[in-house]
Structure 1
Amino acid sequence: MVPVKREGKVYLRCQRCGYEEELKSSDAKSYVDKKNIEKKGAVIVESYEEKEPSEEEKELKEDYVKQLLDNLYETESEQEED
């Protein structure tokens, strides 16, 4: 049973089935809600500058895109024939 505050009153709720009953003042001392906060270390990221691709890289990319589109066109035309 877990203590839950609602409408200014404290209830005990079962985590499995959701059953609730009001917490009696005599039992209130035995139920304490504790929270643990874990502190995690910082993440360090190395910065870098993105440079413009060279002419050779641009040409390779264009060739790759053309080949990809040609293959796509061929597979579509083969599927239409079937």
Structure 2
Amino acid sequence: MKKLLFILIVLGTMSCNITQLYEPKFTLGMEESEFKHLNRYATKVYGDQNGVVIYRTYNEVTEAYKFFLFEKQKLVKFQEGAYKDDYRFF
């Protein structure tokens, strides 16, 4: 009986890790290279010749998009959106 209880506790704690939410790690002013290293699932959605780059992340559980605006390789703005192309409103 003790073994069964132990197995149930172990399985219960393991299942909690499966439902983790992916939240991007960032601070305003951080380098673009550091952001890419910490957030491997971020997708580059915009870039121009003036050094402006926008990355997007998506959380499947909350169905929310997050956008990160970099100017001259520094994070200067963060914004959330409901649609994958909301970065156009930056």
TM-score, normalized by the shorter chain, greater than 0.5: no
Normalising to structure 1: TM-score of the pair? Answer: 0.24
Q: Which protein has the bigger strand share?
A: 2
Quick check: which has more Rg, 1 or 2?
Answer: 1
Q: Which protein has the bigger helix share?
A: 1
Higher relative contact order (CA 8 A, sep 6+): 2
